[in-house]
Structure 1
Amino acid sequence: MTFRANIRIATSIREIDAALWDACANPAVPEVDAGDQDEPFNPFISHAFLSALEESGSVGRKTGWTPTHVIVEDEKDRILAAAPTYLKAHSMGEYVFDHAWADAYERAGLDYYPKLQVAVPFTPATGRRLLVSPEGGTEAQAALILGLRKWREETTASSIHVTFPTEAEWHALGKAGFLRRTGQQFHFVNKPYRDFDDFLSSLASRKRKMIRRERNDALAGGISIEPLTGRDIGEAHWDAFFRFYMDTGSRKWGRPYLNRRFFSEIGARLSQHILLVMAKRNGRYIAGALNLIGRDALYGRYWGAIEEHLFLHFEVCYYQAIDYAIAHRLKRVEAGAQGEHKLARGYAAVPTYSAHHIADTRFATAIDDYLARERVAIDEQLAEYAELAPFKKS
């Protein structure tokens, strides 16, 4: 189609009708295989999830994540494309690290901040970032990328960073002149397996025995596991989970990003897309893990505990997620950033992507050279992890 694109900026997701946003973010599609990287429903880019972040105050000007969502409309004011975009005053909560780039800018006497971040805040999960409606097509995508560039110029931001897009978007952004970066995560890939024992049978004997021992030891001392979803999750569960989240978050990165209200907001808006795995001992909850459910994937997001028990983290975060994915015929479990220990527990190393537009051509050239070498190193690392996978050798 041919249209005259109009670019506008929404300073809050509230300015955008939920149905119109979701028609771009998660358009209704037939129940067909859409491929590993093209998730038919991704909860993180839904209007509900992004609204929960804003309404709770977890993102906003005071947090350094100022919403400036870029919208493409046609001449009839119909939304054809959108990008969840934030004007950033720091580089926290992104999981694609550019601190060295910011330091180099500062040493050169330049301002790296503000920058534009096209992302789901605090969420290192792959998904669409250029949210183009089925009617918009490639023209709307091109208009959206152009709109991002123009918005960067208007804000005098140093750069644009599109983090955790799909591989197809990564290539499209590369063709549009963005610098391309790769990373890696560990995902469980469902073959599919009949059940957890069928999954175990695919592993080498030593790893199979290790996982069985860990699952048994995790539940020693009278610990029980409660997987909860939908209406089974109440405010008392969120109260307990928030204590876990705050305890772990404070020790891990100093200042947890999410507040208590956020969890109530997603509980109200996305309850059917939440799996809350809670561990209980002597009548009280002692640990838990929050997962979001897509149509094809389970996304592990947050874990916390107020008691230390051997292997409980593995059980609540990894093995329960595998159990759920197999039982519900999900294609994969994305277990978040980092963690080589996931490899031995049946999670495979997979590439992740980001794309970057650096306005200063001198820095862009230097960063492009670095990224080319980094991509080679990531490829080598992925190959090494494949050799170390715990599965039986064919």
Structure 2
Amino acid sequence: MPDGQEPDSLAIDLVDDIGTISAADWDACLAGTPGGSDNPFLRHAFLAALEKSGSVGGDTGWDPRHIAVRDATGRLLGVAPLYVKYHSYGEYVFDQGWANALERGGGNYYPKLQCAVPFTPVTGPRLLVRADAPPGVHDALVATLSGLVRGNDLSGTHVTFTSEADHDRLVAAGFLSRIGTQYHWENRGYRSFDDFLAEFSSRKRKAVRKERQSVADSGLTLHTLTGADIREEHWSAFDRLYRSTSDRKWGSPYLTRDFFFRLGEGMADKVVLVMARDGVRWVGGALNVLGETTLYGRNWGGAGEYPFLHFEACYYRAIDFAIERGLTRVEAGAQGEHKIQRGYLPVKTFSAHYIAHRGLRRAVADFLTGERAAMDGHIAGLLAESPYRCVE
């Protein structure tokens, strides 16, 4: 694929192996971006683990084409995580209806471009620019995201779970705006889990305590592990549980066994693994990734029927950890209105979409106008279900 349009003073490359960019250079772009330091999924180590483990690339339908912007000396000024996609799996912002519409009209929706972290519905910046970069780097990244579509027979570029700032920058450049929702827990200075529960209505507070007590009475032991406490046996068990759950519920799992071990090797200090044991057998596991102020819930795996174990391991233990560490937020990921009753309230997420086909663009623009209005009403309705006695 040829490079996109480039301004005179900048060189723009497309990189199909993140290993050819130094971790220090990539992470300097991340650190210079507002909100970047709190997002471990955009770190070179995380994206490299996806590539080196075979979770992306090869025949996965995720071909890396990261944008790298350099000055005349070759110094890296900005990057954007970018992939050529041959399907719409692993994105969590659903566009299959758009694909079907274009293909019914005789067009080809795939391949397309996806600017995102694969399999990771976590909001974060997508245009990563060094703090000391000269003006024009953001514009160069945005121009490349649309220019590649026009020059390479691609249907569009989809920038998903982007920060609001990047969303606004892309929309100003002609991208279409899409709003979604997911569920976050906010730490209001709680001293303990009971302190947090004190803000619930009486009925909802009793329900949560009943769920936690059920797990406590089950005979299971739960372990919250991070850093050097996570050993090979834990990763092996978690991989088994993740793979079994993915096979039962969603088909083929996205992440390879090697990915988890690479994550443990390269980012152990950012991993928080909650593991449940029944006797000598591991029967549940929740993988979280730690930012500077936020704990991100990512993957779950379970074996057997253990009432409320999923809620305990994924939601309540995450809150326990966040309170203990003084974190400000837990992000529980996409989907799942059941999270509301556990204290995770809906917040907006942002995506931006550049669509080359004029007819499809008009149709999608009309659809998104109505969807945004409906989403505002949907979020308001969800907030009305809050377990808190008063939601500001």
Q: TM-score, normalised to structure 1's length?
A: 0.95
Tell me the alpha carbon deviations over residues 142-186 of structure 1, each in whole angstroms, 9 at most, x when there is no partner.
Answer: 111112222223332110000000011111111010000000001
Q: Which residue of 2 aligns with 1:375?
A: 372
The answer to whether the aligner puts 1:53 opposite 2:45 as a matched pair is no
Q: Is the 8 A contact 1:3 1:74 kept in 2?
A: no
Q: 1:73 aligns with which of 70, 81, 90?
A: 70
Please provide the CA RMSD for this pair: 1.4
Query: Deviation of residue 39 (structure 1)?
Result: 5.0
Task: Look up the equivalent residue of 1:243 and give its one-letter code.
Answer: R
Q: Is the 8 A contact 1:111 1:158 kept in 2?
A: yes
Query: Deviation of residue 67 (structure 1)?
Result: 0.4
Task: Look up the equivalent residue of 2:185 and give its one-letter code.
Answer: F
Q: Which residue of 1 aligns with 2:18?
A: 13
Runs of 4+ in 1 over 6 A off after TM superposition: none
Secondary structure of 1:62's counterpart equals coil
Secondary structure of 1:116's counterpart equals strand
Query: Deviation of residue 385 (structure 1)?
Result: 1.4
Q: How does 1:15-54 map to 2 (within 5 A)?
A: 15-27=20-32, 38-54=35-51
Task: Look up the equivalent residue of 2:147 and give its one-letter code.
Answer: K
Q: Which residue of 2 aligns with 1:146?
A: 143
Distance 1:61 1:157, change over 3 A: farther
Task: Look up the equivalent residue of 1:223 and give its one-letter code.
Answer: L
Q: TM-score, normalised to structure 2's length?
A: 0.96
Task: Look up the equivalent residue of 2:271 and give its one-letter code.
Answer: I
% identical aligned pairs: 49
Q: Which residue of 1 aligns with 2:303?
A: 306
Distance between the aligned counterparts of 1:138 and 1:277, measured in 2?
Answer: 44
Q: Is the 8 A contact 2:38 2:294 kept in 1?
A: no
Q: How does 1:1-394 map to 2 (within 5 A)?
A: 4-27=9-32, 38-136=35-133, 139-393=136-390
Query: Deviation of residue 321 (structure 1)?
Result: 0.4
Secondary structure of 1:286's counterpart equals strand
Distance between the aligned counterparts of 2:360 and 2:299, measured in 1?
Answer: 35
Distance between the aligned counterparts of 1:360 and 1:151, measured in 2?
Answer: 14
Distance between the aligned counterparts of 1:147 and 1:169, measured in 2?
Answer: 14
Task: Look up the equivalent residue of 1:9 and give its one-letter code.
Answer: L
Distance between the aligned counterparts of 2:258 and 2:328, measured in 1?
Answer: 31
Q: Which residue of 1 aligns with 2:3?
A: none
Distance 1:77 1:159, change over 3 A: same
Q: Is the 8 A contact 1:39 1:294 kept in 2?
A: no
Query: Deviation of residue 300 (structure 1)?
Result: 0.4
Distance between the aligned counterparts of 1:259 and 1:211, measured in 2?
Answer: 34
Distance between the aligned counterparts of 2:390 and 2:234, measured in 1?
Answer: 43
Name the stretch that deviates more: 206-215 or 38-47.
38-47
Distance between the aligned counterparts of 2:191 and 2:144, measured in 1?
Answer: 47
Q: Is the 8 A contact 2:156 2:353 kept in 1?
A: yes
Query: Deviation of residue 80 (structure 1)?
Result: 1.1
Tell me the alpha carbon deviations over residues 119-143 of structure 1, each in whole angstroms, 9 at most, x when there is no partner.
Answer: 0000001011111111226521111
Task: Look up the equivalent residue of 1:7 and give its one-letter code.
Answer: I
Tell me the alpha carbon deviations over residues 247-274 of structure 1, each in whole angstroms, 9 at most, x when there is no partner.
Answer: 1111121110011000000000000000
Distance between the aligned counterparts of 1:18 and 1:151, measured in 2?
Answer: 25
Query: Deviation of residue 3 (structure 1)?
Result: 7.7
Q: Is the 8 A contact 2:294 2:329 kept in 1?
A: yes
Distance between the aligned counterparts of 1:61 and 1:151, measured in 2?
Answer: 21
Name the stretch that deviates more: 97-106 or 135-144.
135-144
Q: Is the 8 A contact 1:296 1:330 kept in 2?
A: yes
Distance between the aligned counterparts of 1:302 and 1:328, measured in 2?
Answer: 21
Task: Look up the equivalent residue of 1:139 and give its one-letter code.
Answer: G
Secondary structure of 2:59's counterpart equals helix
Distance between the aligned counterparts of 2:22 and 2:148, measured in 1?
Answer: 22
Distance between the aligned counterparts of 2:390 and 2:258, measured in 1?
Answer: 48
Name the stretch that deviates more: 100-109 or 143-152.
143-152
